[in-house]
């Protein structure tokens, strides 16, 4: 497989840097080809602004969605964005690696998403009818590819448990898993999360590294999170509400969009 | 009241720009004093990096949490960050206004949080014992102040409904409401959200503007979302898990952390 790892930590000599090296070595040992987008090292520009759209005339009102569509259609995105799109199309699997800051990705990585996930590429894809509502949530440009997160968190694992005060980690990551990765088509694998990293010591590293190596060895075979496909019949069009009969009666919120009937690995979980 | 509005849209001639002006005018008409941090206009730096910590020696390993703590304690944060902290301490109410991009805040605003919410200021505050786990989630430096979001979204309101495909808007905003605003102490008001803004027309503006004016008129009196206080007895220490007896039996995930018994406006909702 071809793997793109997007790395968003400012210090190479960090736990994140060490885990990145472990991941790359494990992937290459499997015969995978790995490319890295090291956002801090490459001085990635985080802000969506007029400079992203050189063809926009100086007095034109800047409408980000419209400008993105026009620039993508005309192949007029900036070179840094085009290079990332090319890498995403090249890769069979995408890994986003970052420290969880304020329960979300660091600004520099959000800026990578905001700028690279252009209209016509990652959203605004496909037709709308009474049968389909665009190619999104399981369909789209990046369908057939896999994605997963490698995340470090300062807090305790218990605080991210189903009843923990921070909120469950699966719910905190849902806007990324479902809203950023599943939306343009990726099959999203369960995340790799390390907790209490502010108190991490040398002795703790090797067990974590081995757990990460195992995830990299199984990158091609791990069952994705069985999110429901938007156009698979589970949602009403155009309200895009889950049909009344569907969903575990005890489920609410984000959990409704996981199809537990698939959790044994059938159907979506075995798509390429 | 003193109000700080942090604005994160790149185009002043946008719907967001127009709504910002409506909000400011409505607040000033009430006699409130308003300051604005216009992140794009001020060319806010989004990335947490070594440049944020001038006292860090060039060969020192950069550990963001440790560097933040040391710089805050020594009053050695950069001037742009210090100016924002001063405004946050000045303001009785904080408004964050932004377009929802990929189900989260734009990178430039996330970078404002990442850089301004320093250790010792917004986290790492208070003592840990078997009675308390730091001053956070309802306590902390910014306790007694109010915060709310003004958000624009391209998608349909139905798609953000409790069973909508995007996930419920309250859950999508939970990492901001609870994780970023309630964490350092703010009382968090229900958000002001406008949907389908990509198809917005002139005729649609005035009803939305009037709804926003009403929210600005009631900024001091609107009941906050009744999140549970971490140290109020609802959570076990140190696991910080909600006590087994608490929470609506039908609730799961983020909803557990809202105390429905308070939804009538008693207790937390009437704190100053």
Task: With H, G, I as helix, E, B as strand and everything else as coil, classify residue B110.
Answer: helix
In degrees and rounded to multiples of 5, residue A183 shows phi and psi of -55, -55
What are the tens digits of pLDDT across the range B102-138?
A: 999 999 999 999 999 999 999 999 998 888 999 999 9
Given a contact cutoff of 8 angstroms between Cβ atoms, the answer to whether A96 and A38 are in contact is: no
Nearest to A163 among B108, B180, B242 (CB): B242
Residue percentage of chain B with pLDDT more than 90: 88
pLDDT score for A269: 36
Residue percentage of chain A with pLDDT more than 90: 88
ipTM (interface pTM): 0.95
Given a contact cutoff of 8 angstroms between Cβ atoms, the answer to whether A235 and B161 are in contact is: no
State the pairing for strand pair B187-188/B2-7: unpaired
The total of other beta-carbon atoms located within 10 Å of residue A17's CB is 17
Gap from A246 CA to chain B (nearest CA, Å)? 10
In degrees and rounded to multiples of 5, residue A77 shows phi and psi of -70, 165
Gap from A31 CA to chain B (nearest CA, Å)? 33
Given a contact cutoff of 8 angstroms between Cβ atoms, the answer to whether A139 and A126 are in contact is: yes
What mean pLDDT comes out for the span A59-64?
96
Secondary structure E strands in chain B: 2-7, 33-38, 93-99, 146-152, 187-188, 192-194
- Residues A48, B166: C-beta atoms closer than 8 Å: no
pLDDT band at A261 (very low <50, low <70, confident <90, very high): low
Residues of chain A positioned with their CB less than 8 A from the CB of B183: 102
Identify the CA nearest to A196 among candidates A161, A151, A152.
Answer: A152
Kindly list the distances between the CA atom of residue A253 and the CA atoms of A247, B31, B170, in Å, as whole numbers in the listed order: 10, 40, 9
pLDDT beyond 50 at B265: no
Mean pLDDT is lowest, of A60-69, A199-208, B76-85, for A199-208
- Residues B167, A179: C-beta atoms closer than 8 Å: yes
Identify the CA nearest to A64 among candidates A117, A106, A134.
Answer: A117
B101 touches chain A (CB under 8 A): yes
Delineate the domains of chain B, giving CATH numbers in brackets. Answer: 2-223 (3.40.50.360)
What mean pLDDT comes out for the span B183-191?
98
Q: Report the alpha-carbon distance of residue B77 to residue B146 in Å, rounded.
A: 25
Residue percentage of chain B with pLDDT more than 70: 96
- Contacts with B, A 231-260, CB within 8 Å: 235, 238-242, 247, 250-257
- Contacts with A, B 60-99, CB within 8 Å: 61-65, 99
Picking from B110, B164, B179 by the largest number of A CB atoms within 10 A of its own CB, the best residue to mutate is: B110
Chain B residue closest in CA terms to A246: B163
Task: With H, G, I as helix, E, B as strand and everything else as coil, classify residue B193.
Answer: strand
């Amino acid at each position: 497989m071809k793997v793109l790892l997007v790395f968003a930590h400012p210090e190479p000599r960090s736990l994140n840097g060490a885990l990145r090296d472990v991941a790359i070595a494990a992937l290459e040992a499997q015969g995978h080809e790995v490319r890295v987008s090291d956002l801090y090292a490459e001085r990635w520009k985080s802000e969506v602004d007029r400079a992203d759209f050189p063809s926009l005339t100086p007095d034109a009102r800047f409408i980000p969605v419209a400008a993105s569509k026009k620039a993508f259609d005309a192949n007029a995105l900036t070179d840094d964005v085009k290079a990332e799109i090319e890498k995403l199309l090249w890769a069979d699997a995408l890994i986003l690696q970052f420290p969880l800051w304020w329960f979300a990705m660091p600004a520099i990585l959000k800026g990578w998403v905001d700028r690279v996930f252009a209209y016509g590429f990652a959203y605004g894809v496909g037709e709308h009818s009474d049968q389909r509502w665009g190619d999104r949530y399981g369909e789209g440009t990046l369908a057939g590819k896999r994605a997963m997160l490698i995340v470090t968190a300062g807090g305790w694992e218990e605080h991210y448990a189903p009843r923990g005060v921070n909120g469950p980690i699966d719910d905190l990551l849902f806007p990324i898993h479902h809203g950023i990765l599943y939306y343009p088509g990726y099959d999203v694998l369960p995340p790799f999360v390390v907790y209490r990293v502010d108190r991490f010591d040398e002795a703790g590293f090797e067990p974590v590294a081995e757990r990460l190596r195992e995830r990299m060895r199984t990158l091609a075979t791990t069952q994705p999170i069985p999110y429901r496909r938007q156009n698979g019949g589970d949602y009403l069009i155009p309200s895009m509400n889950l049909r009344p009969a569907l969903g575990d009666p005890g489920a609410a919120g984000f959990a409704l969009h996981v199809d537990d009937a698939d959790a044994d690995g059938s159907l979506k979980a075995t798509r390429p």
